[in-house]
Amino acid sequence: MLQRPIELVQYASEQITDTVALEGLVASIGSVGDAYDNAAAETVMGLYKNEAVANGSPFRTGALKNLADVQEITFDWVNWYNNDRLHSYLDYQSPEHYEQKYYASNIGAPTGNAANKTAA
Q: What are the residue ranges spanned by the domains of the chain? A: 1-69
pLDDT in tens, 108-120: 656 666 566 665 5
Going 81 to 87 to 92 to 94, the CA torsion angle's sign is: negative
DSSP string, 57-77: -TT-SS---SHHHHHHHHHHH
pLDDT in tens, 20-69: 788 887 666 555 555 555 777 788 888 999 999 999 999 998 999 999 99
- Residue 18: pLDDT above 90? no
| Per-residue confidence (pLDDT) for residue 34, from 0 to 100 | 58
Tell me the average pLDDT across 70-95.
92
